[in-house]
Structure 1
């Protein structure tokens, strides 16, 4: 993870020993986190469930469709999966991220890694990439349903929704990464679909590491503010579609304990969308659009990243066309 140039933008001779140092320091913390989850994360299992659900949906119209799960920092990684895909011998390949919002540190890094792995073994099939779907109908509908279901548990409580996303260092955003802007678009779309008034929700960020300035506000600060206002909170993990350490440990244990210590009236946490039918249908539509149009898929017909977000592949493509 920390040796990825998209995460730490330093020359390799500096990045590699720094990555080893950071990993060594974080190892005890990581062991404790995984102990809370029984020694392993459910992320790969949930990703495989999503792959099977998507394959079933796609096969209704295209019986020869095959979906492969590919992880970025643990097996099966790109180097493993390209071999399997080459043996399958597809006519076309669609790269579909399970990150609703694009970032150079997530989707961008994953697509680059796939392309390098494919080139190394001569996998030269036509390949199209889905950039993101921050306001995609299937994603937004599933998210809003899950949020409303969780909030219904506290129907008598005065609840503030905290849309919590994984944080990023501010300098990455300053270089043109569209992630923060896309998180804001997701939150607005989900809140509107869920019927939330503007004064009942806010956006915040979790999982900070190191001393750099990170985008904010932090989830810590928003929980403290909710305690001061004496309102209950419902956390919605807006950048995740599967359960893993940042939901099951950070949100369900660490922040729940923090909220209790601060005297927050009630603490709720909406589940990730997982294999929700609307979500899987939305993913299938993205894949089908990419194949039918023989093209990469951007944020959506009605959503275009601002031109200063030049790390967004869709915005960059538009700029090249203008030139």
Structure 2
């Protein structure tokens, strides 16, 4: 029986008001986020985090002062561990590693080393790959593991935008929300976290993968003449971000006189972008611009299909490399940030 450690990566979030500013500093100090030389990046991160902290604290106040992302991820880790240990010959243990707040990679890598697994499997909880999320987390893990001498054979997933369990979970969660719309025709908005346009232009496949996820969900639902659109939320700063924005699409729905069902297509757990931005801020905007009905679909969370899909991918990983859901490169060749440089 082999011992296998499965490390789940997520963004992380402040665990109290005092943690908001250092959390934001860690986020903006990441070279994958602010692409500047170290001394200048430190100054920019310090400035942005200090200025944004009061606004962010107000946002987290709606959530009791802290982010729910850690307990949400803990529930997913427990569900996945239980699924992986259902009658198999290997022994799996899940570990949670957050990128910008506790538990950090350095601490989790030591926990994994102490458990002494035969294999380590890296599992980003970002279905769609980006250099700013999955790649950043995997790089930090590799550095932390090297520093403490954790040289256990390590495999990992870089992305799974069309994984069957993910797609079926979304389809299952969307259907009842569409059924709730009682009046005007409804448009399905797949809202993903935004990204600066220049990062995509430089070779990041995130937008391409988000669009593939949405297409597969629509295909799975099989509804004739379904009105749907991909859009992007959570813009920060003056630079050009991916378009159309979710705000723009909400305004357009008001102008078109239709209702909205909004799907957080790139989030697999609830946090401030879903519970505050989508549920409170965008719901208010929808009402102001005349959207008749506004319904928000839950994230996939611990949906049985999603967890089963994660487990199936983990069980297939063997050789020490980073792979996509199919085991081969899925992104077109122009996306140079893809971790699988060759199929």
> What is the TM-score normalised by the length of structure 2?
0.89
Picking from 273, 278, 284, the partner of 1:251 is 278
Q: 5 Å matches for 1:1-323?
A: 1-60=27-86, 61-197=88-224, 200-291=227-318, 295-300=321-326, 304-314=330-340, 316-318=341-343
| 3-state SS, counterpart of residue 133 of structure 2 | helix
Distance 1:103 1:34 in 2: 25
Which has the higher mean CA deviation after the structures are superposed, 156-165 or 212-221? 156-165
Distance 1:86 1:158 in 2: 55
Distance 1:46 1:58 in 2: 19
- Gap change, CA 1:62 and 1:157, over 3 Å in 2: farther
Deviation at 1:62, TM superposition (A): 4.0
Distance 2:329 2:112 in 1: 32
- Gap change, CA 1:3 and 1:165, over 3 Å in 2: same
Deviation at 1:255, TM superposition (A): 0.2
- Structure number with the higher helix fraction is 1
Deviation at 1:196, TM superposition (A): 3.8
Distance 1:313 1:198 in 2: 36
Q: Deviations over 1:156-211 (max 9, x none)?
A: 54110000000000110011000000000000001111224465100000000001
Distance 2:139 2:296 in 1: 33
> In the alignment, is the contact (CA less than 8 A) between 2:232 and 2:244 conserved in 1?
yes
> In the alignment, is the contact (CA less than 8 A) between 2:97 and 2:105 conserved in 1?
yes
Q: Deviations over 1:107-130 (max 9, x none)?
A: 000000000000110000001110
Q: Deviations over 1:143-164 (max 9, x none)?
A: 1111112222225541100000
Q: Which residue of 1 aligns with 2:8?
A: none
Distance 1:80 1:244 in 2: 23
Distance 2:71 2:103 in 1: 12
> In the alignment, is the contact (CA less than 8 A) between 2:76 and 2:301 conserved in 1?
yes
> In the alignment, is the contact (CA less than 8 A) between 2:322 and 2:339 conserved in 1?
no
- Gap change, CA 1:36 and 1:219, over 3 Å in 2: same
> In the alignment, is the contact (CA less than 8 A) between 1:163 and 1:236 conserved in 2?
yes
> In the alignment, is the contact (CA less than 8 A) between 1:104 and 1:177 conserved in 2?
yes
Distance 1:99 1:197 in 2: 29
Distance 2:295 2:269 in 1: 17
> What is the TM-score normalised by the length of structure 1?
0.95
Distance 1:200 1:42 in 2: 32
Which has the higher mean CA deviation after the structures are superposed, 189-198 or 222-231? 189-198
Q: CA RMSD in A?
A: 1.4
Distance 2:172 2:271 in 1: 20
5+ long unaligned stretches in structure 1: 319-323
Matched residues, number: 316
Runs of 4+ in 1 over 6 A off after TM superposition: none
| 3-state SS, counterpart of residue 317 of structure 1 | coil
